[in-house]
């Protein structure tokens, strides 16, 4: 039984309790609508100024300090050289490429960012509106621009759920282990882990800098993981299917401080149909990744570089709001 399947049996604040409340509300006129609006639309802000909160936690979190007001990290100085498809600075080397396969309605178009970091903490996270909570959204581009990012992808859309371990820029925001997560360490290593067997505090003590809580893991030691077509990220009410050919976003690990980020467009016959989980795993495998992890996809799948969109998220260069991004500052 997977962590995703076992989560709803744990005590505490779970979707089961929310479902029970929803059922009770439906007994009164308009109850279901009111509940749905509150759960999926109304913003619930837990931390209104994340930058200030992260700064206040700087003395608590161990390791490299981050200037959250400017989005810079040690070693990020120096003259950067930027082209339409590349960025080279003292802290990072980014190369953007486009691949198109197939033909007709089976055409698939995806975008790859090959990233080499000098310091693992150069890869940072930011929240929509610089706020933490549920249903707080901005486009990937807007969050990127607010944080002076040269490169960004959408994150795990943590704000859609109230479970998962959320550690960002070395600071704990949520500690509700529920599924298979991805942990970025300060030493440049990246590992898939079971959220239900640890705590956010323990992970930070071990040197974790950022976590993502979505999944599934796509590759095990370079081989396509078994059962990835059947994984459900959220087993309770409100689960959105992640099966079938869909737009996708994934993170792959080639070596310490060497990452590949992939965004696959989809739902656009003739341009890009999208891919299945197995297809996404195959792409990551072909890029040389030994570990790869699926994050929020669909209309959220977005890659941003040097002031503009790289992919075409919803057709017509439109973006859907999301709750968070991973980015590299200029």
Taking CA atoms, 175 is separated from 100, 164, 171, 196, in Å, by 40, 6, 11, 10
Q: Is the pLDDT of residue 263 over 80?
A: yes
Q: Coil, strand, or helix at residue 62?
A: coil
Q: What share of the chain is helix, strand, coil (3-state, %, to 5)?
A: 25, 35, 40
Among 42-56, 64-78, 82-96, 208-222, the least confident range: 64-78
Q: Is the dihedral angle over the CA atoms 71, 76, 79, 82 positive or is it negative?
A: negative
d(CA 321, CA 40): 13
Q: How confident is the model at residue 77 (pLDDT cuts 50, 70, 90)?
A: low
Question: Checking DSSP bridges between strand 81-82 and strand 86-88, what pairing results, if any?
Answer: antiparallel
The closest of 72, 115, 96 to 258, measured between CA atoms, is: 115
> To the nearest 10°, the Cα dihedral for 242, 244, 247, 253?
70
What is the distance between the alpha carbons of residues 67 and 70, in angstroms, rounded to a whole number?
6
Query: Is residue 316 predicted with pLDDT exceeding 80?
Result: no
The distance in angstroms from the start CA to the end CA of the chain is 43
CA–CA gap between residue 302 and residue 152 (Å, rounded): 8
Contacts of 62 (CB under 8 A, 6+ apart): 170, 204, 205, 207
Band of residue 143 on the pLDDT scale cut at 50, 70, 90: very high
Return the SS3 of 35.
helix
Tokens of 16: 């089961």
**Residue 318's pLDDT is what?**
87
Query: Which pLDDT value is given to residue 20?
Result: 45
Whether 260 has a pLDDT exceeding 80, the answer reads yes
Burial of 13 (0-12, 13-18, 19+ CB in 10 A): exposed
Task: Output phi, psi for 329, to 5 deg.
Answer: -80, 155
Q: How far lies 37's CA from each of 22, 33, 40, 88, 252, in Å?
A: 11, 6, 5, 45, 36
> What's the pTM value of the predicted model, to 2 decimals?
0.85
Least confident among 16-30, 97-111, 205-219: 16-30
Average pLDDT, the chain: 86
Could you tell me the two tokens for 121?
């903490």
Task: Tell whether the torsion through CA atoms of 175, 236, 18 and 128 is positive or negative.
Answer: positive
Contact, 274 vs 264, CB < 8 A?
yes
């Amino acid at each position: 039984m997977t962590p995703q399947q076992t989560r709803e049996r744990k005590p505490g604040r779970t979707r089961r309790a929310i479902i029970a409340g929803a059922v009770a509300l439906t007994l009164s006129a308009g109850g279901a609508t009111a509940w749905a609006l509150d759960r999926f639309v109304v913003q619930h802000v837990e931390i209104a100024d994340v930058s200030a909160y992260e700064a206040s936690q700087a003395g608590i979190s161990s390791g490299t300090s981050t200037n959250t007001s400017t989005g810079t990290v040690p070693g990020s100085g120096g003259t950067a050289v930027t082209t339409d498809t590349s960025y080279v600075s003292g802290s990072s080397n980014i190369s953007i490429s486009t691949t198109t396969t197939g033909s007709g309605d089976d055409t698939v178009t995806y975008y790859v960012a090959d990233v080499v970091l000098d310091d693992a903490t150069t890869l940072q996270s930011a929240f929509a509106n610089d706020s933490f909570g549920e249903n707080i959204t901005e486009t990937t581009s807007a969050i990127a621009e607010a944080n002076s990012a040269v490169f960004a992808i959408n994150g795990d859309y943590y704000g859609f759920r109230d479970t998962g371990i959320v550690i960002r820029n070395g600071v704990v925001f949520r500690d509700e282990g529920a599924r298979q997560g991805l942990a970025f360490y300060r030493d440049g290593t990246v590992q898939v882990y079971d959220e239900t067997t640890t705590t956010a505090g323990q992970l930070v003590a071990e040197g974790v800098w950022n976590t993502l809580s979505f999944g599934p893991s796509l590759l095990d030691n370079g081989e396509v993981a078994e059962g990835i077509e059947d994984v459900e990220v959220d087993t309770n009410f409100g689960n959105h299917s992640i099966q079938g050919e869909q737009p996708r976003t994934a993170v792959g690990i080639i070596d310490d401080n060497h990452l590949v980020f992939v965004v696959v467009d989809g739902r656009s016959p003739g341009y890009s149909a999208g891919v299945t989980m197995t297809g996404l795993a195959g792409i990551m495998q072909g890029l040389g990744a030994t570990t790869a992890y699926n994050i929020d996809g669909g209309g959220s799948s977005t890659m941003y570089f040097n002031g503009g969109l790289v992919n075409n998220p919803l057709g017509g260069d439109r973006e859907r709001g999301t709750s968070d991004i991973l980015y590299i500052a200029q």
